[in-house]
Amino acid sequence: MSKSYFQFKQFGIKQDHCAMKVGTDGVLLGALAGNEKAKNMLEIGVGTGVVSLMIAQRFGSMKITGVELDQDAYNQALENARNSPWWNRISFYHQDFQSFSKEVSEKFDLIVSNPPYFPNHLKSADTKRNLALHNDSLSFDDLLDGVESLLLEKGKFWVILPSKEMRLLERKALSKNLHAEWQLLVKDSESKPAIREIQVFSFEMVEKSTESLVMKNENGEYTLAYSGLLKEFLLIF
């Protein structure tokens, strides 16, 4: 999915100045997160803006707020939002989440994030890509501190991560009284282990349910489940 411009069915994403291009993680999060009851959403780490725009397309009355640390990504996300049909419901802020979470007065019934997760010692020479991928700019502790502060009592926090990092986040979330209530295991094919997990956290203590999404069949073709999930967004479907 990596190119300077990515066309969706109802909006476009300019991404030539973004370290992290439109990818499967963000597209899945945008297609799944939230429900009709949520009226006020926050995205932590906007990137290109794709997740916020997909959710704006799905829910016609939702107010969407996003925060992004990288200046170039923020500028491009803002441009993408302004060029979309939902520009009047979207507000993005150029700020680190740690400061934002302490300064903002409102709370949200939906918070979503595709957070950085690589440790500091695995950095490359690409500064912007490091910022997007490595968690020294936003640790899991800082992420969860902010979510705990900004999530409404009945709100939901949606996040996508690799399985190993999700286990760490899940353990840390318990100290904030955030409990995993739903888990989606994302597999490239039926015979392979999950490459990503999407989890929903809330302040309610319930038994976690687990589902799976297989992206491709044994012939390498996209499954009906995957294409059905994204048919309202991707031109290939």
pTM to 2 decimals? 0.92
Q: Which residues contact 107 (CB under 8 A, 6 or more apart)?
A: 40, 150, 151, 152, 155
Asked whether residue 231 is domain-assigned, the answer is: no
| Whole-angstrom distance, CA of residue 170 vs CA of residue 119 | 17
Profile the chain (237 residues) by mean pLDDT over runs of 10 residues: 88 95 97 96 98 98 97 97 98 97 96 83 50 67 98 98 96 97 98 97 97 96 98 98
List Cα–Cα distances, 163 to 48, 169, 218, in angstroms.
24, 10, 23
Asked whether residue 204 is domain-assigned, the answer is: no
* pLDDT for the residue numbered 171: 97
* pLDDT for the residue numbered 45: 97
* pLDDT for the residue numbered 3: 86
Indicate the length of the chain as a whole number. 237
* pLDDT for the residue numbered 135: 53
Asked whether residue 115 is domain-assigned, the answer is: yes
List Cα–Cα distances, 101 to 47, 75, 95, in angstroms.
18, 21, 10
Asked whether residue 229 is domain-assigned, the answer is: no
* pLDDT for the residue numbered 59: 98
| Whole-angstrom distance, CA of residue 236 vs CA of residue 232 | 10
Structure tokens at 195: 């490459």
| Whole-angstrom distance, CA of residue 104 vs CA of residue 83 | 26
Asked whether residue 99 is domain-assigned, the answer is: yes
- H-type helices in the chain, by residue range? 24-32, 50-58, 71-82, 97-103, 127-133, 140-150, 163-174, 224-230
In a 13 Å sphere around the CA of 8, the CA atoms on its Cβ side amount to: 24
User: CA nearest 34: which of 163, 198, 148?
Assistant: 198
Are the CB atoms for 162 and 196 separated by under 8 Å?
Answer: yes
Could you tell me the residue range of the domain that residue 94 belongs to? 5-167
Q: What is the CATH number of the domain that holds 161?
A: 3.40.50.150
Asked whether residue 197 is domain-assigned, the answer is: no
Asked whether residue 86 is domain-assigned, the answer is: yes
Asked whether residue 80 is domain-assigned, the answer is: yes
Q: How many domains does the chain have?
A: 1
b/e per residue, 182-192, with b = 16+ CB within 10 A? bbbbbbeeeee
List Cα–Cα distances, 134 to 8, 31, 208, in angstroms.
28, 24, 28
